[in-house]
Chains A and B, each alone.
Chain A
Amino acid sequence: MEQLIAQLKHEIIEVLNLTELTPDSIDENAPLFVEGLGLDSIDALELIVLLEKKYGLKLGTADEGKKILYSVRTMAEFIRNNNKG
């Protein structure tokens, strides 16, 4: 799990061009949106593309998406629980 979280941090930095951040500076439990990294709606779409392209996972409903994209840890849990990570 911790390895998957570390990998996700690298991938998020890369796909969202967060070039001023390092994986260590991202709190895996902090909210990704508004607070925490302060990501926006375009970033959310980019994370959805990441989950589909890299892990072959599609989000179901918008409510489900909010929970899955809450933090790096919730994203990692979603990947692990779907056994495709």
Chain B
Amino acid sequence: MMVDPFVISDYCIIRQNRVVKNGNTLHESDETTVAGFLTAIYRHFGINYPKFHKMDNLCKLGFLAAEVLLNHSNLKERYHGDKVGLILANAASSIDTDRNHQLSISNRLDYFPSPSVFVYTLANIVIGEICIRHAFLGESTFFIEKSFDPGRMHHYVYQLLEEEAIQCCITGWVELDSDRYEAVLYLVQKSDIHPDGIAIFEPAKMNEIYLQRT
């Protein structure tokens, strides 16, 4: 019998004021703002990382999803940092922070762009923040696409894993635009290293997880 080489060992979904990992709701909140909800998650999980408070909301969302996803994963013991990849995507890019930056430069008489806002005017900074936190150095890409496309993402990640450019990958969707947010991250590992995965790494399973009610 042929064994599928890669599995989704864990997944994390953050949306609709809930944090779900591997099908279990770990946190629910009645916070009415995205920023308040993200801070509530940070506090709920007892995370101690002061730089979190400097991030924009998109980075906070991706950072928190990765924190929950990787909790108890022992990735650092299993893989060298340069063998852990991060392949993410969204539709809104960094528009939420782009708007904030634009506001700060729209008045020529009150022209004070904020450096700490400007640095977040790229979606792939989400990847950078996660890599800094966990010392990941592997292949990384942030795609901007109209909607979550598990087929494209699976194809790209599978190829990286098959070529052994990486041995493990955090992949998924991290979307935020004003009060609309959604993060769905998958941890993909080799099935011989992690035989008891949640599901086979394939587009249909990725989509099934993405579409599950939270």
Q: How many residues of B contact A (CB 8 A)?
A: 9
B residues in contact with A43, CB < 8 Å: 116
- Kindly identify which residue among B54, B113, B119 contacts A16, using a CB–CB cutoff of 8 Å: B54
Secondary structure class of chain B's binding surface, majority of residues: helix
B residues in contact with A15, CB < 8 Å: 116
Contact B112 A20 (CB under 8 A): no
- Kindly identify which residue among A18, A42, A45, A49 contacts B50, using a CB–CB cutoff of 8 Å: A18
Tell me if A52 counts as interface (CB < 8 A to partner B): yes
B residues in contact with A49, CB < 8 Å: 112-115
Q: Which residue of chain A has its CB nearest to the CB of B104?
A: A49
Contact B112 A45 (CB under 8 A): no
A residues in contact with B116, CB < 8 Å: 15-17, 42-43, 45-46
**A interface residues with partner B (beta carbon < 8 Å):** 15-20, 42-43, 45-46, 49, 52-53
For the A-B complex with A15-B116, A45-B115 known, give 14 more contacts whose Cβ atoms are closer than 8 Å.
A17-B53, A17-B54, A18-B53, A20-B50, A20-B53, A43-B116, A45-B116, A46-B114, A46-B115, A46-B116, A49-B113, A49-B114, A49-B115, A52-B112
**B interface residues with partner A (beta carbon < 8 Å):** 50, 53-54, 112-116, 119
